[in-house]
Chain A
Amino acid sequence: MFGRKKGGSETKANIYELLESNYHTIVKKWIDKVYDSYPEDGAKFLRNKKDPFANPVGFRITRGIEGLVKELITEEPSEGVEEFLDSILRVRAVQDFVPGDAVAFIFELKKVIREVLAKQLRDNIRLMEELLDVETKIDRLALLAFDIYMGCREKLFQLKVEEIKKRPFLQLEGVSCPSAALSLRQMKTLREQLNLVGSRRDSEQQGH
Chain B
Amino acid sequence: MAAKTPKPQELLQIDHRPPREWWMDRKVVFKPGTWCYAGRPENVKALDLPFPREWSPDEEDWKLPDNWKEIVLETFRDRLHKFRSLKVFMDICVRCGACADKCHYFIGSGDPKNMPVLRAELLRSIYRGEFTKAGQILGRLAGGRKLTYDVIKEWFYYFFQCTECRRCSVFCPYGIDTAEITMIARELLLEIGININWIMGPVANSFRTGNHMGLLPHTFKDNIEFLCEDIYDITGIKIEPTFNRKGAEILFITPSADVFAEPGIYTCMGYLLLFHYLDLDYTWSTYASEGGNFGLFTSHEMMKRLNAKMYAEAKRLGVKWILGGECGHMWRVIHQYMNTLNGPADFLEVPVSPITGTRFEHAKATKMIHILEFISDLIYHDKLNLDPSRNDHLVVTHHDSCNPVRAMGFIQEPRHVIKSVCNNFYEMPENTIYAETFCCGSGAGLNTDEFMEMRMRGGLPRANAVDYVHKKYGVNRMTAICAIDRAVLPTLMNYWVPGVSISGVCELVGNALVMPGEKPRDIDLRQEPLVRPTAEMPSEDESDV
Contact = CB atoms under 8 A, between A and B. Distances in A.
Interface of A: 36-43, 45-46, 49, 51-57, 59-60, 90-91, 94-101, 104-105, 152-153, 155-157, 159-160, 162-164, 166, 168, 170-171, 176, 178-179, 181-182, 185, 196
23 contacts: A37-B16, A39-B110, A40-B18, A40-B112, A42-B106, A42-B110, A45-B110, A53-B465, A54-B101, A94-B453, A95-B110, A95-B453, A98-B5, A100-B6, A157-B1, A159-B452, A166-B262, A168-B260, A170-B213, A170-B219, A171-B214, A178-B216, A179-B219
Nearest to A157: B1
Contacts of B429: 53
B261 interface: yes
A42 B463 CA distance: 20
Given A53-B431, A181-B219, A182-B222, A38 B18 contact: yes
B464 A94 contact: no
B16 A56 contact: no
B543 interface: yes
Given A37-B17, A57-B107, A96-B109, A155 B261 contact: no
B214 A196 contact: no
Nearest to B491: A159
Given A95-B108, A96-B34, 17 more contacts: A36-B16, A39-B112, A42-B106, A42-B112, A46-B110, A52-B464, A54-B107, A54-B431, A91-B108, A157-B1, A159-B494, A164-B449, A170-B213, A171-B213, A181-B219, A182-B219, A196-B543
B453 A170 contact: no
B201 interface: yes
Interface stretch (B302-310, B349-357, B454-462): B454-462
Nearest to B545: A192
Q: Among the interface residues B33, B110, B261, B496, which one has the most CB atoms of the partner chain A within 10 A?
A: B110
Contacts of A96: 31, 34, 109, 111
Contacts of B109: 42, 95-96
B265 to A, nearest CB: 11
Contact of A38 (B100, B110, B468, B496): B110
Interface of B: 1-6, 10-11, 16-18, 20, 31, 33-34, 100-101, 106-112, 115, 201, 205, 213-216, 218-219, 222, 226, 257, 260-262, 429, 431-432, 449-450, 452-453, 456-457, 460-461, 463-465, 468, 491, 494-496, 543
B478 to A, nearest CB: 16
Contacts of B17: 36-37
Given A37-B18, A90-B496, A163 B449 contact: yes
A168 B223 CA distance: 12
B443 to A, nearest CB: 16
A51 to B, nearest CB: 7
A59 B431 CA distance: 15
Nearest to B112: A41
A59 B452 contact: no
A107 to B, nearest CB: 9
Contact of A101 (B2, B16, B33, B112): B16
A15 B260 CA distance: 62
B362 to A, nearest CB: 32
A56 B111 contact: no
Nearest to B110: A42
A59 B107 CA distance: 11
A55 B261 contact: no
Given A53-B461, A159-B452, A159-B494, A42 B111 contact: yes
Q: Which of A96, A159, A164, A166 has the most CB of B within 10 A?
A: A96
A53 B468 contact: yes
Closest 9 CB pairs of A and B: A42-B110, A178-B219, A56-B464, A41-B112, A38-B110, A94-B456, A160-B449, A163-B449, A94-B453
Nearest to B198: A171
A153 B456 CA distance: 12
B181 to A, nearest CB: 20
A160 B6 contact: no
A31 B121 CA distance: 31
Nearest to A181: B219
B428 to A, nearest CB: 8
Nearest to A162: B491
A53 B432 contact: yes
Contacts of B111: 39, 42, 96
B214 A170 contact: yes
Contact of B495 (A36, A51, A159, A168): A159
Contacts of B495: 90, 94, 152, 155-156, 159
Nearest to B461: A56
Given A94-B456, A96-B109, A176-B214, A171 B16 contact: no
